[in-house]
Structure 1
Amino acid sequence: MHKIFLFCLLNILVLPGLVAQTLPIDQQATPETKNLYLNLQRLAKKGIMFGHQDALAYGMGWKYEEGRSDVKEVVGEYPAVVGWDLGHLELKRPVNLDSVPFDAMRKFAQQIYARGGINTFSWHPNNPVDPTKDTWFQQDSTIKRVFADPALMARYATWLDEVADFFKSLKGPKGEAIPVIFRPLHEHTGSWFWWGRGHSTVAEYTRFWRFTVDYLRNQKEVHNVLYAYSPDRFESREDYLERYPGDSYVDILGFDIYHRPNPNDSIDYFVANTKQMVQTLSEIGKEKNKLITLSETGLEQLPVADWWTNTLLPVVQDTDLSYVLVWRNGRPDHFYAPYPGQASAEDFKKFYQQPDVFFQKDVAAENIYKKPAKSKKGSKL
C-alpha cells in the first residue's frame, strides 16, 4: 500500500533535516550526483530503500530476459537499489566474475536510472601482483608491493582507467553522466580479499583507498561517483574507523554482514548484534554528517519463512540507514531474494507493504536526480 503524507506534515518532517545536509566529497560532482546525494539524505529520514544485487540480469530459472526481476515477480515492483560488480573489468574481459556482460550491465544501469532507481557498484579485482590470481588470492603485502614497484602501480592505474571509462560510459537520455555509488576495497576488516586486514597495514590500506579515489576523481575526472566505505562486521567504533581514509574520501558509511545460522548466530543474536552495529554506525554518521547503509546482507537460500519481517525488518526499521542490499540470486543453492513460490515470498510481501520500506516506484516519484522537492502522491514517502 502506498502511503500519502499531507503537504504540511511533509514540511515538518523533511525541512528540518535539510539543514545538516552536505554535498559529495567531489567538489566537481555533476548536478545529478549532487542532487542524488542530497535526496538520499532527505529520504533516509523517512525510511529505507530495498536493494538487490544483479536484480535485472538473472534470477531463479532465467537469464537476461527483458523486464524480469525475481523481486518484481513477487511484489510487482523493482528494487529501489540494484547492485553490480566490476570484477574482471580490469582484465578487459567482456563479462564480469559472475558472467554478467558489461555491455548488458551498462544497459541495465541505464534502465534503472531512467526509472528513477539507484545503481551501486562493488569491485572484486584480481590481484595486481599476479593478475592470474583472483580477488581471494591471499598473498600478504599486495598493497605494499604495488606501492614499492612502479610497474605494479602502473598496472593498477590501468585497471582504474577501465573503471573510469566504464563509469563515464553510463549516460542518461540527455547525455548526462548517470550517478552511481562505488564501493571499492570492501569488507577489509576480514582477510579473505588481498586488500584485507591480514594482508595490509592500516597505513597501506588508507593510502591505497586515497590513491584510488584521487586517481578516479582528479586524474580521470570521473565526477558521477559517490564513494562508500564498507567493512565487514565490526566490534566497536574504533574497529570500524581503524582503516577509515578520512572524511574527504568517503561519502557513505556502510557495512556488510550476512546471517549465517549456526549455534553461535541465532536469529536473536544476529538481530541484536546487527542492531548494535547499526547504532554505532548511526552515531558515527551523525558525527561525520555522512549517509549510512547496510551495504550487503542476507540469508542464503532463505530457509526461514518469516526472515524478512522477523529478522531483517527489526534491524533496519526506525534507523538512519539509507538502503539495505541483499546479495544475488545466482543459483538454487545461492540466492538471497525470494522468487515466486519460495518459502519466504509471502513474508516478503509483508515486508514490501511496510510504509517506510521503499521500492523503485516510491523512489522514482521523488525525482531523486533533481533538486530536492516535496514528495509526490502515489509514493509511500
Structure 2
Amino acid sequence: MKNILISYIAAILSFYGMNTQAQFKLPSDPKATKGSQNLYNSMQRLMGSNIMFGHHDDTGYGVNWRLQDDSSDVKAVTGSYPAVYGWDLAKLEHDSTADINGIPFKTQRTLVKEAYQRGGINTFCWHMDNPFNDQTAWDTTANSVKEILADGPTHDKYVEYLDKAAKYLKNLKDDDGEAIPILFRPFHELTGGWFWWGSKTTDPQDLVAIWRFTVDYLRKKKKIHNLLIVYSTADFNSTEDFLARYPGDDYVDFVGFDLYCLDNKQKFVQRLDKQLSILQQVANDHHKIACIPEIGYEGIPDANWWTVTLLPEISKYKLSYLLTWRNGNPNHYYAPYPGQQSAADFVKFYNSPNILFQNRLSPLGIYGK
C-alpha cells in the first residue's frame, strides 16, 4: 500500500507541472479535436517520469473467458485495468460484424467507450486484408502497396476500405456526442517482411506515399480529427533504418517499435536497449512521443520477467506507454492471469513508482474534463 501511495504521488507531481522545462508540441493534425489535443499534451507531461501499461483486447477476452462484463486478466491480477487498451479494425473492410479476434464491432465500440470513460487511452491497429488479392495481412506475394496507390488498379478498393473504417471511427463517441481520441497505428511493423505493406515487397517511397494518402484522406476527405498517428516499426539497427519509411512530421505523433522476447532473454535485452536508444534520439530530434506499441513474452515462462528483464530497461528511457499483446488462450497470452507463474512479479511491476495503470491514470483527467 505504501508503494502504491508513493507512486501515485509521483504521478500527480509529474503531471501537474513538476517538469517545468517541458515544451509541449501540438498534434500533427492542425484541426485535431480539443480532446485529442488535451490527450497529447497530457501524454507529453507524463513522459519521462511515468510509463503507461497497455494490453491488447484487454476487456474483450482473456485466458478461459470471453466477452464477460467487467472482466480483465490484468485487473484480476493487479486490481486495476491497464491504462492503455489496444484494438483492431481488421475485418471491418469486409463488413464483418466482428473483428479478426472475434469481438463484435458493436461490443468493441462499447468497450472503447468504457475505457475512455474510465480515463483510459484507446489505440487501434489494422491487420487489413490485402486489397490487391483478397489474401490476409500476412500475404507477401506481390508489391501490393504500389497497386493501391492513386494511379494503381486497386486504388478504388482501398478507398472503399478507408470509407468503412472512417464510418466506424466516426461512431466512437462519448455520451455528449464528442469524438473519442484514438491512437491510430496504420501499417505497423513496416520494417518487417511479414505483412503486405512490409519491407519484403514495398519500396520505401511507396510506403510513404500510401501513408500520406491514408492520413490525408481520413483528415481532409472524411473530416476525422480525433486520430493521433503512431509510426511503429519492427527491427532496425540505426536511425537511418528507423526513418527509411518515415512519412514526415506532419503525419506522425508517436514513434515506436514492436519487439517480443523469444527464447533468449539476453538478446532481447540487448535489442531492446539498442532500439530504445535510437528511438529516444529520433523522438527528441523530431519532437514526437516515444512508445513501444507492442511488446511481450508469450506464455511468460520467467517468473521474474517483469521486474528483472523488462522494467530495468524501459526505466532508462523516456517512454509514454508500452502495450503487451493479447491473452488469446491458455497457450497464447502476454499478460499474466491469476495463478500464472509471473503474476506475483507482475504485481511488483504494477507497484513500481514509474509505471501507470488505470487506477493512477484516471484521477489525472488526461482529456481535460
- Normalising by the residue count of structure 2, what TM-score does the alignment of the two structures yield? 0.96
Deviation of 1:9 after TM superposition, in Å, equals 8.1
Report the Cα distance in structure 1 between the residues aligned to 2:236 and 2:362, rounded to whole angstroms.
33
Task: Find the partner of 1:42 among 42, 45, 60.
Answer: 45
Superposed CA offset, 1:230-279 (max 9, x none): 01121111110010010111010010001111xxxx22221122012111
**8 Å Cα contact 1:47/1:318 also seen in 2:** no
Is 1:14 equivalent to 2:12 in the alignment? Answer: no
Match of 1:15, SS state, is coil
Is 1:201 equivalent to 2:199 in the alignment? Answer: no
Task: Find the partner of 2:220 among 218, 221, 239.
Answer: 218
Match of 2:25, SS state, is coil
Superposed CA offset, 1:38-58 (max 9, x none): 000001122100000000000
The one-letter amino acid paired with 1:172 is D
Deviation of 1:141 after TM superposition, in Å, equals 1.0
Query: Hey, what does 2:181 align to over in structure 1?
Result: 179
Match of 1:305, SS state, is coil
The one-letter amino acid paired with 1:233 is D
Superposed CA offset, 1:292-346 (max 9, x none): 1011010001111101001110221142110010000001111000000001000
The one-letter amino acid paired with 2:324 is V
Deviation of 1:14 after TM superposition, in Å, equals 2.3
**8 Å Cα contact 2:218/2:224 also seen in 1:** yes
**8 Å Cα contact 1:140/1:198 also seen in 2:** no
Report the Cα distance in structure 2 between the residues aligned to 1:326 and 1:151, rounded to whole angstroms.
37
Superposed CA offset, 1:118-163 (max 9, x none): 00000001111122x1111112211112227555111101101111
Query: Hey, what does 2:148 align to over in structure 1?
Result: 146
Is 1:55 equivalent to 2:58 in the alignment? Answer: yes
Report the Cα distance in structure 1 between the residues aligned to 2:282 and 2:323, rounded to whole angstroms.
20
Count of residues paired in the alignment = 364
Supply the RMSD in Å over aligned alpha carbons.
1.6
Task: Find the partner of 2:345 among 344, 347, 354.
Answer: 347
Query: Hey, what does 1:279 align to over in structure 2?
Result: 277
Q: Which runs of 5+ in 1 are unaligned?
A: 372-381
Match of 2:312, SS state, is helix
**8 Å Cα contact 2:83/2:358 also seen in 1:** yes
Report the Cα distance in structure 1 between the residues aligned to 2:90 and 2:78, rounded to whole angstroms.
30
Match of 2:228, SS state, is strand
Structure 1 residues 40 and 144: CA distance shift in structure 2, 3 A: same
Query: Hey, what does 1:320 align to over in structure 2?
Result: 318
Report the Cα distance in structure 1 between the residues aligned to 2:55 and 2:232, rounded to whole angstroms.
16
**8 Å Cα contact 2:147/2:153 also seen in 1:** no
Report the Cα distance in structure 2 between the residues aligned to 1:8 and 1:38, rounded to whole angstroms.
16
Report the Cα distance in structure 2 between the residues aligned to 1:136 and 1:5, rounded to whole angstroms.
43
Query: Hey, what does 1:377 align to over in structure 2?
Result: none
Structure 1 residues 364 and 152: CA distance shift in structure 2, 3 A: same
Report the Cα distance in structure 2 between the residues aligned to 1:113 and 1:7, rounded to whole angstroms.
20
Is 1:310 equivalent to 2:308 in the alignment? Answer: yes
**8 Å Cα contact 2:27/2:228 also seen in 1:** yes
Report the Cα distance in structure 2 between the residues aligned to 1:142 and 1:5, rounded to whole angstroms.
48
The one-letter amino acid paired with 1:329 is N
Report the Cα distance in structure 2 between the residues aligned to 1:141 and 1:52, rounded to whole angstroms.
32
Deviation of 1:13 after TM superposition, in Å, equals 2.5
Deviation of 1:15 after TM superposition, in Å, equals 2.2
Structure 1 residues 346 and 217: CA distance shift in structure 2, 3 A: same
Match of 1:197, SS state, is coil
- Normalising by the residue count of structure 1, what TM-score does the alignment of the two structures yield? 0.93
Deviation of 1:10 after TM superposition, in Å, equals 6.9
Report the Cα distance in structure 1 between the residues aligned to 2:261 and 2:324, rounded to whole angstroms.
11
The one-letter amino acid paired with 1:69 is S
The one-letter amino acid paired with 1:352 is Y
Is 1:238 equivalent to 2:224 in the alignment? Answer: no
Deviation of 1:167 after TM superposition, in Å, equals 1.1
Query: Hey, what does 1:104 align to over in structure 2?
Result: 107
The one-letter amino acid paired with 1:209 is W
Match of 2:224, SS state, is coil
Q: Where in structure 1 do 4 or more consecutive aligned residues deviate above 4 Å?
A: 5-12, 148-151
